[in-house]
Amino acid sequence: MKTTYRMLAIDLDDTLLNGKLVISQRNKEYIQRAREAGVQVTLATGRMYCSALPYARELGLNLPLVTYQGALVKEAVSGEVLLHLPVPLALAREAVAWVKRLGYHINVYLDDKLYVEKMTPEAEQYVKISGIPAHPVGNMLDFLQEDPTKVLFVGGVEELNQLEVEMKQHFGSSLHICKSKPHFLELSHPEATKGHALDNLARLWGINREQVIAIGDAPNDLEMLEYAGLGVVMGNASQEVKAKADYIAPSNEEDGVAHVIAKFIFQE
């Protein structure tokens, strides 16, 4: 039986990718089947565009990719930018100055490049996960002179939970602040969410939100899960995120994405 779902947006880390940061053969096969059935399949990730692109190429995707939590929507083949919502410079500098005082690691993203003050263990780990080099710049406040696409802080889980509360109180609706992983706190433009980006793409393709499936696992997926007609949360997600699910899939180690495509697109 054919689907009523016409669009599928999939998070990368801890959703499509397993613990080895690999897309399983079964997930690849089902994504290919969905595409052959006419479903628009895209990636929706907090990763940089250049970090998400190799996975898009591996899947043969030729659509716009939602990257940087939705701050940058850019075509996978032509590289055309459909949407770029950077962080206003004054707010970015204020947040960086705040976190410098606390001594946490800071990532700043400009022109799809990653900048750090120095190569810390956190920077080394991030480079390993993302597959993208980091450029050390010394004092970040001296370096940061234009609107960054995104700012990310790396620290202890509890410390970042506290910082998230304080920053949300301080910045209010002028910034979007969320955890993408327990040790990552991200700041972006207030409209730079995966949900807002999917809404833009669905309108572009003439697709109703009821016809959209979104699959994710983390707090930075919540807007996308809420937007989609079917919001699917991975079995490996936290209880906080699972509480928002329309459906809970098997984990990222159990080909959860393939399971969702089989069940909801092909009714298998």
d(CA 229, CA 13): 22
Residues in the chain: 268
Residue 99: pLDDT band (50, 70, 90) is very high
d(CA 248, CA 234): 6
107-132: per-residue pLDDT in tens?
999 999 999 999 999 999 999 989 99
CB-based contact 76:65 (threshold 8 Å): yes
CB-based contact 31:115 (threshold 8 Å): no
5-53: per-residue pLDDT in tens?
999 999 999 999 999 999 999 999 999 999 999 999 999 999 999 999 9
Q: What share of the chain is helix, strand, coil (3-state, %, to 5)?
A: 45, 25, 35
**Cα separations in angstroms, 207 against 224, 227, 246:** 15, 13, 20
d(CA 246, CA 34): 20
204-237: per-residue pLDDT in tens?
999 999 999 999 999 999 999 999 999 999 999 9
d(CA 175, CA 122): 24
Looking at residue 229, its pLDDT comes to 97
- List the domains of the chain with CATH numbers: 7-84+192-265 (3.40.50.1000), 89-188 (3.30.1240.10)
Beta strand ranges found along the chain (DSSP E):
7-10, 40-43, 64-67, 72-75, 81-84, 105-110, 113-116, 134-136, 150-154, 176-181, 184-188, 212-216, 230-234, 247-249
d(CA 107, CA 46): 13
- The angle subtended at Cα 58 by Cα 28 and Cα 85, nearest 5°, is 105
Q: What is the mean pLDDT of the chain?
A: 96
Is-above-0.75 flag for pTM? yes
